[in-house]
Amino acid sequence: MGMTARDRLIVALDLSSVEAARALVTRCGDAVSFYKIGYQLGFAGGLSFARTLIGEGKQVFLDFKLHDIGNTVEKGTQSIARLGATFLTVHAYPQTMTAAVAGKRGSSLKILAVTVLTSYDDNDLATAGYRLKVAELAATRARQAVELGIDGLVCSAEEAASLRKIVGPAIALVTPGIRPAGAATGDQKRIMTPSKAIAAGADYLVVGRPITEAADPKAAAEAVVAEIAGAAN
Ligand code: C5P
């Protein structure tokens, strides 16, 4: 894909303050080029911090999982595109995806769709009024995402190989739930090592606590980058 191993690692800044995020980014230094900001930091000053990071040459993934009426999603996406973010997540509803694709037009922002949240099982979908099972809904939405011009999907590394068959080579697969061998699993259930995730077809790996909570975050990030480089050869 013409990317360096370092550019394929996205560190999740799941931290409660900009000060904590700044401290981590400083400690990681050149080892990390790409950061993810979600609700926790995003709603605690993280948007202006995103702008700062972009100004320092880092790439930023805004994990805001947008979903609203089309006009609102389109205008919100335009604002995020102007910020200079690289990735933005939206829920994989056709209207929402269409609006986000329209909103990013003319910018370098890429839209990632979340097919079905991994916290949902078949029962949760039924309770929410869906007739499809998780696997069926995820496959349907993945096909729709490709048709509607979405740039990538967020998925578990376990799903990467089967999703790749549905979406083809041009769609980026971005996978959280990554745990280097020996790292604590935390609350993640479906985990994979960096090299296995790359071998399964992941383009980008999202890693949070194994790096943010490491005694030496820079060394932890460098180890993941080395593992990506080894697996990509
Ligand atoms: O700390 P950890 O490596 O588990 O962080 C993973 C990151 O990826 C978190 O920001 C989490 O919200 C996100 N994520 C996830 N599982 C999903 C989707 C997103 O862990 N299915």
pLDDT at 29 over 90: yes
Task: Please tell me the distance between residue 177's alpha carbon and the centre of ligand 1 in angstroms.
Answer: 6
CA distance 185 to 11: 16
For range 186-193, the mean pLDDT: 86
Ligand 1 center to residue 208 CA distance, Å?
7
- Of 37, 65, 206, 224, the residue with max ligand 1 atoms within 8 A of its CB, to mutate for a pocket test, comes to 206
Query: Is there a catalytic annotation at residue 75?
Result: no
> Is-contact 229 223, C-beta < 8 A?
no
Position of tokens 């694709």?
101
Instruction: Tell me the CA distances in angstroms from 89 to 56, 86, 93, 110, one per residue in order.
Output: 22, 10, 12, 9
Residue with CA nearest ligand 1 atom 13 = 176
- Using the predicted structure, report yes or no on whether residue 2 has a pLDDT greater than 90: no
Closest-CA residue, ligand 1 atom 14, reads 176
Nearest-angstrom CA–CA distance, 157 and 45: 31
Query: What count of other Cβ atoms lies within 10 Å of the Cβ of residue 39?
Result: 12
Query: What is the pTM assigned to this prediction?
Result: 0.96
pLDDT for residue 1 is more than 70: no
Atom of ligand 1 at shortest range from CA of 114: 18
Q: pLDDT, tens digit, for every residue of 193-220?
A: 999 999 999 999 999 999 999 999 999 9
- C-alpha–C-alpha distance, residues 42 and 18, integer Å: 9
184 band by pLDDT with thresholds 50, 70 and 90: confident
Distance 179 CA to ligand 1 centre (A): 11
Residue 233 has pLDDT above 90, yes or no: no
Distances (CA, A) of 115 to 142, 189, 196: 7, 18, 22
Mutate to test the pocket of ligand 1, among 9, 14, 91 (most ligand atoms within 8 A of CB): 14
Sign of dihedral through CA atoms 52, 55, 60, 66? positive
Average pLDDT over residues 47-74: 98
- DSSP codes of every residue in 57-81: T-EEEEEEEE-S-HHHHHHHHHHHH
Q: What tens digit of pLDDT does each residue of 111-129 get?
A: 999 999 989 999 999 999 9
Q: Are 117 and 155 in contact (CB under 8 A)?
A: no
The whole-angstrom separation of Cα 108 and Cα 186 is: 34
Q: Residue 183: phi, psi to the nearest 5?
A: -80, 150
Name the closest-CA residue to atom 18, ligand 1: 176
Catalytically annotated residue among 36, 58, 65, 133: 65
- Across the chain, mean pLDDT equals 95
Residue 69 has pLDDT above 70, yes or no: yes
**Spatial distance between the Cα atoms of 109 and 96, rounded to a whole number of angstroms:** 16
Nearest Cα residue to 37 out of 228, 208, 231, 167: 208
CB 51 within 8 A of CB 82: no
Distance CA 168, CA 104 (A): 22
Contact residues of ligand 1, CB 6 A cut-off: 12, 14, 38, 118, 154, 176-177, 186, 188, 206-210
Which atom, in ligand 1's list, is nearest to the CA of 155?
21
CA of 12 to the centre of ligand 1 (A): 8
Report pLDDT digits (tens) over 147-176: 999 999 999 998 999 999 999 999 999 999
Beta bridge partners of 222: none
